[in-house]
A and B are shown apart, each in its own frame.
Chain A
Amino acid sequence: GAGVSQSPSNKVTEKGKDVELRCDPISGHTALYWYRQSLGQGLEFLIYFQGNSAPDKSGLPSDRFSAERTGGSVSTLTIQRTQQEDSAVYLCASSRDRGVTDTQYFGPGTRLTVL
């Protein structure tokens, strides 16, 4: 079946502009996660959704970052007033549920470059 998809695959933007990154999880997966991977920082957790609610936003680096999920499906990560340090690969993952044995399936990521 279809895996997790993300769009765009690449995004180049100018400092100060807003960007939206989209994630389409696997159908029926209730849990959705955003991670970020930057040079020197490795893979870090950003936010977790259960259904449309986000019980854990602890990894969002600043209030310029926000995310929503609608219909228990598609999620959008928005970065306002982008900065150069926001340049990274943003990865989305989904899992059937939030249990410790539930596999997380990752998308291919969106590579964000802030000039």
Chain B
Amino acid sequence: DAKTTQPNSMESNEEEPVHLPCNHSTISGTDYIHWYRQLPSQGPEYVIHGLTSNVNNRMASLAIAEDRKSSTLILHRATLRDAAVYYCILRGNSGGSNYKLTFGKGTLLTVNP
């Protein structure tokens, strides 16, 4: 499985933008880039996903490098509620096990008031 690399932790101030990086240099052409986050004492929740083009939704934006070897999750205005572990996950469209999520260690985001 293609692997992802994320910083262990990042810190932000409330109401400022946050850019969470993810490296995936061995990504294949059919791999989707997914982001999930896990708030304290909760199950993970979906944030966003993309393949090649940048994506926006109500929670965040996903910027994907042209060579797809890295991506950045952007929280436009961090709130205290955004403090969580953020996971960058690749899900391939080929092969037999594309249904499961393979979680790495993720990035622990701390938001300061």
Chain B residues lying within 8 Å of A33, measured Cβ to Cβ, are 99-101
Q: Are B91 and A100 in contact (CB under 8 A)?
A: yes
Q: Which residues of B contact A (CB under 8 A)?
A: 32, 36, 42-46, 49, 87, 91-93, 97-105
Q: Which residue of A lies closest to B51 (CB)?
A: A101
Q: Are B91 and A107 in contact (CB under 8 A)?
A: no
Docked complex Cα distance between A25 and B91 (Å):
22
Q: Are A45 and B102 in contact (CB under 8 A)?
A: yes
Q: Are B103 and A106 in contact (CB under 8 A)?
A: no
Q: Are B105 and A42 in contact (CB under 8 A)?
A: yes
Size of the A side of the interface (Cβ < 8 Å), in residues, is: 25
Chain A residues lying within 8 Å of B105, measured Cβ to Cβ, are 42
Could you give, for residues 95-106 of chain A, a 1 whenever the CB lies within 8 Å of some chain B CB and a 0 otherwise?
A: 100111101111
Q: Are B101 and A104 in contact (CB under 8 A)?
A: yes
Docked complex Cα distance between A29 and B87 (Å):
23
The residue that B43 contacts in the complex, of A42, A56, A93, with Cβ under 8 A, is A93
Distance of B73 from chain A, by nearest CB (Å)? 16
Chain A residues lying within 8 Å of B92, measured Cβ to Cβ, are 100
Q: Which residue of A lies closest to B97 (CB)?
A: A56
Q: Give the interface SS of chain A, mostly helix, strand, loop or mixed.
A: strand
Could you give, for residues 25-64 of chain A, a 1 whenever the CB lies within 8 Å of some chain B CB and a 0 otherwise?
A: 0000001010100000011110010000000100100000
Q: Which residue of B lies closest to A97 (CB)?
A: B99
Docked complex Cα distance between A59 and B93 (Å):
20
Q: Are B99 and A98 in contact (CB under 8 A)?
A: yes
Q: Are A105 and B46 in contact (CB under 8 A)?
A: yes
| 9 pairs of A and B residues whose beta carbons are closest in the complex | A106-B43, A43-B103, A98-B99, A100-B91, A103-B46, A45-B100, A100-B98, A106-B44, A100-B32
With A59-B100, A108-B43, A109-B42 known, 7 other A-B pairs at CB within 8 A are A4-B43, A42-B103, A43-B87, A43-B101, A48-B100, A93-B101, A100-B32
